Amino acid sequence: MRDIVIIGGGPGGYVAAIRGAQLGARVCLIEMDRVGGTCLNWGCIPTKALYKHAEILRTLDKSNTYGIHVEAYAMDVQQVQERKQTIVDKLVGGVQQLLKSNHVEVIKGKGIMKDAHHVIVEKEDGTIEEIEGKHLIIATGSLPDTLPLEGIDEEGVWNTNDILAFEEVPEKLAIIGGGVVGMEFASIFNGFGSDVSVLEYLPQILNQVDSAISKRFKSMAKKSGIAITTQAEVKKIVKTTDGLDIHYRCKGKEHILSADKVLVAAGRRANLAGLELDGLGIAYTKKGIQVNENYETSVKGIYAIGDVNGKSMLAHVASHQGVHVVEHIMGMAHKEEKVVPSCIFVFPEIAYAGITEDEAKEQDIPVRVGKFMFSANGKAMTLGKDEGFVKLIAHEETHDVLGMHILGPHASDLIHEGVLAIQNGLKIEDMIETIHAHPTLAEAIHEAALDVLDLGIHSLPKKK
Per-residue pLDDT of the chain (464 residues; tens, 9 = 90+): 899 999 999 999 999 999 999 999 999 999 999 999 988 998 899 999 999 999 999 999 999 999 999 989 999 999 999 999 999 999 999 999 999 999 999 999 999 999 999 999 999 888 999 999 999 999 999 998 889 999 999 999 999 999 999 999 999 999 999 999 999 999 999 999 999 999 999 999 999 999 999 999 999 999 999 999 999 999 999 999 999 999 999 999 999 999 999 999 988 999 998 888 999 999 999 999 999 999 999 999 999 999 999 999 999 999 999 999 999 999 998 777 679 999 999 999 999 999 999 999 999 999 999 999 999 999 999 999 999 999 999 999 999 999 999 999 999 999 999 999 999 999 999 999 999 999 999 999 999 999 999 999 998 887 76
114 labelled as ligand-binding? no
Is 395 among the catalytic positions? no
Class level of CATH domain 2-144+269-329? alpha beta
Residue 49: C-alpha distances to residues 52, 84, 87, 312 (Å): 5, 6, 8, 23
Edge-first strand order for the sheet with 172-176 is 157-158, 261-264, 172-176, 195-199, 227-229
267 labelled as ligand-binding? yes
DSSP reduced 3-state for 59: helix
451 labelled as ligand-binding? no
The secondary structure element, H or E, covering residue 172 is: strand 172-176
140 labelled as ligand-binding? yes
pLDDT at 190: 98
Q: Does domain 157-266 have CATH number 3.50.50.60?
A: yes
384 labelled as ligand-binding? no
The secondary structure element, H or E, covering residue 316 is: helix 315-329
Cα–Cα dist 266/344, whole Å: 16
141 labelled as ligand-binding? yes
State the burial class of residue 273 (Cβ atoms within 10 Å of its Cβ: 0-12, 13-18, 19+).
Answer: exposed
pLDDT at 464: 66
Cα–Cα dist 78/184, whole Å: 21
Longest dimension (CA), the chain: 76
The pTM of the full predicted model, rounded to 2 decimals, is: 0.95
Q: What are residue 176's phi and psi, to 5 degrees? A: -95, 105
Cα–Cα dist 18/29, whole Å: 10
| CATH code for the part of the protein at 342-452 | 3.30.390.30
Cα–Cα dist 15/71, whole Å: 47
Edge-first strand order for the sheet with 232-239 is 232-239, 244-250, 253-259
Which amino acid would we find at residue 191?
Answer: G
pLDDT at 459: 87
157-266 has the same fold as 2-144+269-329: yes
Given the residues 69, 438, 446, 458, the one annotated as active site: 438
307 labelled as ligand-binding? yes
Domain boundaries, the chain: 2-144+269-329, 157-266, 342-452
182 labelled as ligand-binding? yes
Closest CA to 170 of 245, 53, 272, 259: 259
314 labelled as ligand-binding? yes
